[in-house]
Each structure stands twice: as structure tokens, then as C-alpha cells.
Structure 1
Amino acid sequence: MSTPIILRQISRCIIKPQCLPEESKQIYHLNPWDISMLSSHYVQAGLLFPKPPVSINQEDNHDGISAILDQLKESLSRTLVHFIPLTGRFITQKSNNPHSYSISVDCRDAPGVVEFIHAVADLKIADVLSPMDGPPIVHSFFPLNGVVNNDGHTMPLLAVQVTELLDGIFMGCSFNHAIGDGASFWHFVNTWSELCREEVKDKRISFPPILERWFPNGHSPIVNLPFSDHT
């Protein structure tokens, strides 16, 4: 019987935006489509890379991984400046007359921030790619498993886990689906990739995101959800 592969968590930290733009002082009201996604699970997608070779200046591969993690964290901090709603938290405001709730994203001073995890698994890239459906342990390569979008009241709206394999690196991202769709998620990832590769720290990104939520003409941005009993 083969020994089960165990994922070991090495570190966990929070990533804040490098600076707080004007958008960090806003509350973003969820529109009807956003609200309809609150009972769904987070969007999850992963990227798999070969581990870069050890350079002459590095004593061992650990130094190389440390440099990669530092670069990812620093560039993620700069990326969040442009995607400030991902650093917020959901807030629910209750009204008793009439009985209703309204749900928004509170981005004031970035109270939520983003979670960043470093983990290790004794697997090779071939072990991940060879099975038709992937080994069950790949599920643990993603943070916030089993979390639904409404949990964004207390959980991060974005979390990243970098899992170090024997010969590769797996980046698993979990993205609150009430904040954006799949296209929005990959827009964020592509922007992060652009800033991670870019040596000029103050360069503008190629495609700034649209942060304003869409609401039908003539409707208030506050969508009230009626209820008869709080429970």
C-alpha cells in the first residue's frame, strides 16, 4: 500500500495593497446578478509551472523559492491597488421598516486584505498531469475549499496558495464569484502576471478594470432583500 501524500503548510500571511487609492474609501453595492451568486462557491483555478533551475548564486533551491515567493507577494500587493474591491469584505445592512437586507462590499481602508499561503507536497508535475482527473490531493492545492460566496462577510474575497512540488510550482487561486465572473478572474491574473514580470514599479497596467457595478436604469444601487424572520 502506497503512503498517502500529505500537504504541509509552511507559512500563511496577508497581502495588503501597496497604497490605498481613492477607491479604497468606497462601498460597492452588489447588483442583482452579484447577489444571485452568494450561495455559489468561489471560483477556483490553478496554474502549474516547472520549477526554475538553481542558479550559480543560489546555495540551494530553497533560496530560489524564497525569491519567487517574495516577487509574487510584492507584485500582488501592487496588483491589488487596481483591484481594490478584492481587499474588502461583505457587509449586510438591516432595515426593520420595511424588513430588508442590503449587501455591499466595504473597501474602506482595505479592511479585508488577501490571504497568501505557501505549502509543500512531495509530488512531481507528472503525478499531477498523468491521471485523467488529477489526484485527489490537488483539491488541497486551493485555499478556501467548500467556502460559499456569502462567507465573504468573514473570509477573504481572494486567497492564493503557492504549493511547491518536487519539480514544479502550483498556484491555486480562490476568487469570490459575487465579485466577478471568470473573465474578471483571468483579467486579475493576467494583470498580476504583467506586474510580476515588469521591472518598472510605477508602470500603468495595460487594461485597467471597471470597478463600477451595473444597475438597471432608474433603480437604486441598494438592492433590498425582503425577509419575514431574521433566522
Structure 2
Amino acid sequence: MSNPFPTLVSESFIKPYPPIEDSKQICYLAPWDIAMLSSHYIQKGLLFKKPSSSSSSLNQQYFIENLVHKLKHSLSLTLYHFYPLSGRLVIKKTKHPPSYSVYVDWKNSLGAKFIHATLDITINDILSPTDVPHIVHSFFDHHKALSHDGCTMSLLSIQLTELLDGVFIGCSMNHCIGDGTAYWNFFNTFSEIFQNDNHVSHQPINTRWFPEGYGPIINLPFKHEAEFIYRYDETANFRERIFHFSAESIAKLKAKANKESNTNKISSFQSLSALVWRSITRARHLEHDKRTTIKLAVNNRTRMKPSLPNEYFGNSISATSTETTVGELLENDLGWAAWKIHMAIINHDDKVVRNWVEEWLHSPFVYKTDLFFDPYTVMMGSSPRFNMYGNEFGMGKALGVRSGYANKFDGKITSYPGQEGGGSIDLEVCLSPNKMMALETDEEFMSSTSVFNPLF
């Protein structure tokens, strides 16, 4: 590679079109949103193959120029529906009594950011290596930025990185503005508008949810921003690797977990999560009397009564968990671990969700990333249910989903649907080199994985 980093071609800011009405200039954030102030931006993106018709340099130039123009136009139309993403965060301090309030202001904002960059590498350079190459992190803007930085940075940034034979479209979205469901709802609409010019199947609901008697202004009882803003830089040298699980393999895991637990209630993803929990715990070579935890990101929308619509654009997410001793986890079978996970998810109901919000309102806090990881925890993020491969931008189906630097640590697992569909799942696993090496030789884990390359 001649240049190890992308070369900037252009950078601009995009505002909603048509312009947003003055009556919608401020949006106060809900408890779930404010709790994300110290989280990194969400960074996910899609890798596409350039159309064969653009093989000549002249055709390639025309294709890219046209793609950039259409992406900018589509983004402007999409921001009209997802207008909070065109603003900036405002954190307002009150002296008497000392407190902070947080809201989004898009009247005094340049808009969302759009970057066009180039890099002289191929699709194969990204997909072929065993580990995800670190160069992928440079496909995303707002590297290492916290959501709090949205006071001075755009809340949304789209980066198109042109490769020799492909295109990567990376999106960085402020985590205070939305969770994974909100993120992919935006991305799906962006793609839909690109293909159909302003046709929107699912209108986002931008009005924030507050329990009765609260909101829209929440005062955080802090004297200094240092009390709730935590910058964490993961300097540990961990590897990132994508493991593929075919639909057939997932079905076998599910059948095995249910048979061992004498039930039919354990889901495919619960079975896979149990496999991951057991395998990584084994790879860590922990003392058997230590306690180990698995945490899973859970969408609260469907668990509330009445439920929040899937189109609710904001955060509505929790991390539910279950724990046991290392010895108990490894001495019992897959079904035993899967049942524990199943029960943790089943018990995460309306009462639990509302109790969390009530407790937070009485004693507000901001999530600290470093509390989510320790030598004994596995964290399952994202979801294979998100519509990732349905996003098309004139180049056919994406070849792969990749993520940036954001919100990663030793023991963080990010789940994606498999590129071939049908119930297949890809897991992006982050582990220190010695633990990854142990996982790669773990018979129970590796016997469930398979090799899949969309190029062949």
C-alpha cells in the first residue's frame, strides 16, 4: 500500500431538505440518551464492489462523481425525516443549584458531515486476512470521539472511501441520538431514499419518551463535567476477527441447547451466545471459583407496555446479564448456559425497564465504558436481526459489514446477519492475542464455525 491512510478528496456539511420548521428547533434528551454521553459514536459500514461497467478510469471517475452527488442528495432528504442528526448537542450549565441539562439544537448547526476519500487497496485486502485489518478504522469519521463531543462535532458523519475495486460507506452516529435499532432505521431509510428518491416506508418517531410526570428537561445534579464525562482509550493490543456461523450450524446449536435443557424455548441467538460465553471463558483460563458474566444488549421497545414502536428514534436499550462461577459454567453443558441466558432475557420485562428509568431519574449517571469489561465478562452487542444487507446504493448487495474503533474492548462481541442470509450469523470478536489463539483452537467453538467469502 502506497498510502496507509485514506486521502481526503472533499468534505462538506449537509442540511435537511426541505428545511426544518422553526417549531422543531430543540429536542431534549431522555434518560436512555443522556446515559450514553461518555459512549463512543456508533460506527458501522458496508463494503461494496464497484460495478464492472466502471472499469475504465474515465468511467470510474464518472461513477464516483455521480455516486457522491446522489449520496449527498439522498442524505439531505433523509435528514428531513431524521432531523435530530443534523444538529449539535448543547450541554447547559446552571449555577444555582449546580446542574446540567442536555438538548439537541439544529438551528445553530452546520448539519451532518459528508466525506469523500480514496485509498489504494482492494476489497481482497479487507476480506481475506484472518483478522480485520486496522485500516478499516480509518473508514469512519469521529475516531475515538465520545457522544459528548457532539457539542462541537457533527452528530452524523457519512464517509465514502473509494478503493481500487470497491467502495466503503461508513457511518458514524452520535450514541446520544440513537441506539442500534435507530441507527439501522436511519441507514435503511437512507438506502431507500437513494433508490426511490424520498419514498419512506417507516417514518421515524423523533419525540422522546419520558415516564409520566417527567421531562422534557432533565437536570443532572453535577457540579463539573468531569463528574459524568469519562474518556477511556483502550490501549490493549487485542485482535478483531469475524467468525461465520452458517444457518445449518446455528440450527444444530439451537437443537442441542433445547435438547439439553429439555425445552423448545431457547432461541438461536441465545444458543450461540451460550457457546461464545463458554468458549471465551475457557480460552481465558480463569480460576474456577471466579464469577463470570455475560451481558447482552436488549431492545426495550417491545418489552414495554404499551410498547414503543420500532420506529422510535432514540435510545431504548439496556444490557441484561446473567452470571455464575467459571467452574459451574464449564462443568455444565451448552443447554444449561443457554437456559440461564434465556431466563435473563425473559425476565427483562416492562417492570424492569421502568424501574431502571425511575431509579436513573432519582440518581442520574452516565455509562462508563470500562465498567462493561473485565477479565470475566463477555458483552454481546448489536443484533443479527438488523437489516444490514438490504441497504443498496446502486452497487448491488454489500459484500460485508465492518465497524470502526468505537466501543470495543477485550471480550466485546458484535453480531451481524451473515451475508448469504437464511439465518446465518457473523460474530466480530475482540480478544487479546493469546486468548484469541486459545479460542481458535477451542474444539467446541471452531467446530460450529465455517469459512465464508462473498468473493467466491
TM norm structure 2? 0.47
Aligned pairs (5 A) from 1:57-136 = 59-108=58-107, 111-136=109-134
**Cα shift at 1:52:** 1.5
SS at 2:81 equivalent: coil
**Cα shift at 1:204:** 4.1
**Cα shift at 1:128:** 0.5
Amino acid at match of 2:73: E
2:168 corresponding residue in structure 1? 170
CA–CA separation in structure 1 for the residues paired with 2:54 and 2:120: 22
1:143 corresponding residue in structure 2? 141
1:223 corresponding residue in structure 2? 218
**Count of paired positions:** 226
Higher relative contact order (CA 8 A, sep 6+): 1
SS at 2:64 equivalent: helix
Change (3 A) 1:183 1:217: same
Q: Is the 8 A contact 2:192 2:199 kept in 1?
A: no
**Cα shift at 1:77:** 0.7
CA–CA separation in structure 2 for the residues paired with 1:97 and 1:59: 64
Amino acid at match of 1:145: H
Change (3 A) 1:54 1:32: same
SS at 1:188 equivalent: helix
Structure 2 unaligned regions, length at least 5:
227-456
Matched residues, percent identical? Answer: 49
Q: Is the 8 A contact 2:91 2:103 kept in 1?
A: yes
2:41 corresponding residue in structure 1? 42
Deviations 1:64-96 (A, max 9, x none): 110111111111111110000000111122222
CA–CA separation in structure 2 for the residues paired with 1:153 and 1:61: 38
CA RMSD of aligned residues (A): 2.1
Amino acid at match of 1:190: N
2:292 corresponding residue in structure 1? none
Please tell me whether residue 209 in structure 1 is matched to residue 204 in structure 2.
yes
Q: Which has the larger radius of gyration?
A: 2
**Cα shift at 1:131:** 1.5
1 or 2, which has the higher helix percentage? Answer: 2
CA–CA separation in structure 2 for the residues paired with 1:230 and 1:90: 14
**Cα shift at 1:13:** 0.9
Of 169, 193, 199, the match for 2:191: 193
**Cα shift at 1:5:** 2.9
Change (3 A) 1:219 1:21: same
CA–CA separation in structure 2 for the residues paired with 1:230 and 1:162: 34
Amino acid at match of 2:50: K
Change (3 A) 1:59 1:8: closer
Amino acid at match of 2:207: E
Amino acid at match of 1:183: T
CA–CA separation in structure 2 for the residues paired with 1:211 and 1:169: 31
**Cα shift at 1:99:** 1.3
CA–CA separation in structure 2 for the residues paired with 1:69 and 1:170: 12
CA–CA separation in structure 2 for the residues paired with 1:149 and 1:126: 33
Change (3 A) 1:52 1:27: same
Q: Is the 8 A contact 1:23 1:107 kept in 2?
A: no
CA–CA separation in structure 1 for the residues paired with 2:176 and 2:224: 24
